[in-house]
Each structure stands twice: as C-alpha cells, then as structure tokens.
Chain A
Amino acid sequence: MSLQATVSPRLPASAASGFLAVSGLACVRGERMVFTDLSFTLAAGHALIVRGPNGAGKSSLLRMLAGLLRPAAGTVGLNGTAMADDGIAWRRNLAWLGHLDALRTTETPRETLRFIARLHGRTDFQTALTALDLDSLADTPIRFLSAGQKRRVALAGLVASNVPLWLADEPTTALDADHAALFQAVLGRHLAAGGLAVLSTHETFPPSAECHELELAAA
C-alpha cells in the first residue's frame, strides 16, 4: 500500500519561518506494514489533522514525529534539519501529548505545569493555566478533577512548553463542547503565532484555511 499526501502546496520554499517535512516515511508494527511512503510538508502556521480508522497508524505517525518510534524508512525534518541528525535539537522544538494524560493524582495542575515548563527550559506556566480555563482549579489535587479537566491540564502542557511544533494524540478526548472549542481557539492562536501542529482525532474540527487533513487508510 502506498500513500501520498502533499498537504500544503503553498509551502514557501525559502521561508524564514519553520516548516515540517516528512518524506518516504514507513511504519512497521510487529510484522505488519502499517503505512509506507508517506510524504507531506507542513508550513508554519498550519496544522495537520490526521484521520483514519483504528490501526491505521495515526499514533505511530505521531510517535515517529516525536522521536519515540524509529521509522522503518524515511526522514523527518524541521526547517531543513533532519531529526536523525540531532535528536536533542529536534526535541527542543516539539511538545508531545499522547493519548494518556501523564498526570499524577497527588499533584496539582500548577505543580504539573510548572514541571512541564521547566522541562522545556521555560518559567512561565501561568499563561497555560489561564489559556485552558484552569485558574480556579490550579491548586486542586488532580485526583479530584474530572476526565475532561485532566485532559485540559494535559493540553495546557502544550502551551507551557512554548515550542513551535505540537504533537497531540486525540487532544480533545473527554472534553465537553465548550472546552473543545476553547482548545481549538488556543490552537488557532498557536498557529497564528507561526506554530505548527500535528493532531490525530476522530472528532470534527471546524474547517479552516490553517487546518489540513491527512487520511490514513486502513492497513
């Protein structure tokens, strides 16, 4: 199975701003070929929404972009620098949010976000708390939060990292309609500031010029 998806035809070849380039990516899980020859480019200010049925390789694609899974073939580059050349420099540009929230029940959202900010060499985490409407919950131990509130804390970690590329697996899981819209607004601001995002989701995102869709076929 071969799959080609050129997502942003308006890629500014000599752009000063960042762009993500994926070329010839292949994913093998177990003995199974999940996808091969996946190529796309994504310019700064744009998001890629990865869709597809269960097992189509959405999470695997995101894990490869985060450097958590080694591609069977192909290259990934940001601003012309390949991930394989300098892993740490690559990871400095990205924030990862898997389908798990990565939260500990005894911590508070404030402690969690302060930690995530520090992990990326930042000090500001207050902006992230406010952006995801968490100010009133900042000092509540996470064990008292609902699933949707926990997801918002996890999403606020993307903001607290303050990096160009967001990678998020099913970001809006468990969110109510208002907070899903809030996250889309936060994402919109991130893109407007020249950020990039690759998200996998089964939910509908309102169509916009910044969001492109990549449909992965069932393996």
Chain B
Amino acid sequence: MIPALLAIVRREVRLSLREGWQAATALLFFILVVMLLAFGIGPDPVLLRRVAPGALWTAALLSCLLSLDRIFAADHYDGMLDRLLASPVPAEGTALAKMLAHWLTTGLPLTVFSPAAGLLMNVPAAVMPVMVASLAIGTLLLTLVGGAMAALMAGSRRGGLTIALLTLPLYVPVLIFGAGALDKALAGKEAGHAVLFLAALLCAALPLAPLGAAAALRE
C-alpha cells in the first residue's frame, strides 16, 4: 500500500507543477498579499512589526484556502476519483496522500519562502525560526482541515465558495495560535507553548481529517 500512496503523492505533485503553475500560484499569492500589506501600511518599522503576525498568517491562510478545491474536484470531474476509490488503496489513504501533496505544493513552498515575506514586515532574524516552525505546522493543519471540507464538497458545483465558507470558522483557531506564537516571539516572550499547541492540533487532525474525508468521498 505504501508504494501506491507514494504514487498518488507523486502524481499529484507532478500534475500541480504542470497544470498552470498552481504550486507557484499559492506561493506568489502569499508573497503578493504580504507585499501589498507592507506597502499599504507604510514605512513605519514599528507598526509593520506590530501587524506582522496577523498579516503573515492571514496571507498564508487565504493562500491555502484558494487552492483547496483542486484537491478533489478535478479528479471527481474526470473520473479518476472513482478509479481511486475502486482501487485497493483505502479511501483514507487516498485522502491523506492527496492532502500531503497539496501541502507539498502550497504550504511547504510558502513556509520556505516565508523569511522573505517576514523581511518585508520587518520581522527580525531571531524570530524567523519560530515563524518558520509555526507556519510549517500551521499550513499542514490548514491543508488537513480544509482537505476534509474539500472532500465533503467534491461533487458540488459551487464547491470553491462553499469550501471557503465551511472552512473559515475552522481556520480561526489555527490563525489565533499561529499569529499568537509569532506575536509572543516578537515581544521577546516564550513562544514554544503556542507552537506546541499547533503541533497538538496537528496530531489530532492527522488521523481525523483523512477519516472524515474518506467518509465524505465514499458517499
């Protein structure tokens, strides 16, 4: 089963790299939003640093949100989802593989390039490790939670919008604790607890999200 799961991840990554640079779109969107916010707020270094956590996390969240419906919708419309569900790979495995591939092409590049966005918002180098760690965990969490919602709406015509509406409330805790970690680190306080809380949420979402997604896909 593991080679089959890896094959699904590889295919998803390959397709998203080929089809209209979708992977680059999520990253570009993140950088652009942060850049525009930085320009909009103006060249006040103290103010920029003050709003940096909220700005960075909102940009990451929207970037993830916009790409959620491609996790299952395309495969649903071209018949591949049926082929996957009729294969020996359990639906939970398929869902997890597709979510991981989504993170590899959206959350991961975004995390890797987040220090550049951080510089725009005047985040000092000392805080970068907390920012990168919280974004790495947080974006995977966003993908898992959003992926379960995307599975629920896989067959729906207005999937994209509905997924966003369903997912937003569930994203609020991630936003609060993610931005909270960065906020604490910027204030020179211990930020480990908030990052650990994100990690705890991830530990819950890692098994639950694929289970929920599989139940939705099988219907």
A contact residues vs B (CB 8 Å cutoff)? 63, 66-68, 88, 91-92, 94-104, 106-107, 111, 115-116, 118-121, 157, 167
Structural contact, B7 and A88, CB atoms closer than 8 A: no
Q: Determine whether the beta carbon of B88 is less than 8 Å from that of A98.
A: no
Closest to A163 in B: B88
- Complex CA distance for A120 and B3, rounded to whole angstroms: 10
Does A67 contact B78, Cβ atoms closer than 8 Å?
no
CB atoms of B86 and A102 under 8 A apart? no
Tell me the smallest distance from the CB of A23 to a CB of chain B, in Å: 21
Instruction: Pick the residue among B8, B15, B79 that contacts A100 (CB under 8 A).
Output: B79
Query: What's the interface size class on B, roughly?
Result: 20 to 34
Given contacts A68-B86, A88-B90, A102-B82, contact A107 B15 (CB under 8 A): yes
* Interface residues as binary, B81-98 with A (CB distance below 8 Å gives 1, 0 otherwise): 011111111100000000
Taking CB atoms, residues of chain A closer than 8 Å to B78 are: 100-104
Using a CB–CB distance below 8 Å, which chain B residues touch chain A? 1, 3-4, 7-8, 11, 14-15, 18-19, 74, 78-80, 82-90
CA distance A98 to B4 in the complex (A): 21
Residue contact A119 to B79, C-beta cutoff 8 Å: no
**Complex Cα–Cα for A62 and B11 (A):** 27
Closest to B4 in A: A119
Q: Complex: how many Å from CA A103 to CA B4? A: 18
**Contacts known (A98-B79, A102-B78); A119 close to B84, Cβ less than 8 A:** yes
Please give the distance in Å from B155's CB to the nearest CB on chain A.
13
A158 to B8, CA, bound (A): 18
Count contacts between A and B, CB distance < 8 Å.
73
Question: Contacts A104-B15, A104-B78 known; A118 to B3 CB distance under 8 Å?
Answer: yes
Min Cβ gap A178→B in Å is 25
In the complex, the answer to whether A101 meets B11 with C-beta atoms within 8 Å is no
Other A-B pairs, 18, CB within 8 Å; known A102-B78, A115-B7, A121-B4:
A63-B82, A67-B85, A88-B88, A91-B86, A98-B82, A102-B83, A104-B15, A104-B78, A107-B11, A107-B14, A111-B11, A116-B83, A118-B4, A119-B4, A119-B83, A119-B87, A120-B4, A120-B87
Indicate the member of B79, B84, B89 with the most A CB atoms within 10 Å.
B79
B19 touches A91 (CB 8 A): no
Given A68-B82, A98-B83, A111-B14; A118-B88 close (CB under 8 Å): no
Tell me if A120 and B19 are in contact (CB < 8 A).
Answer: no
Closest-by-CB residue of A relative to B81 is A102
Partner of A120, one of B14, B80, B82, B88: B88
Contacts of B88 in A (CB 8 A): 88, 91-92, 119-121
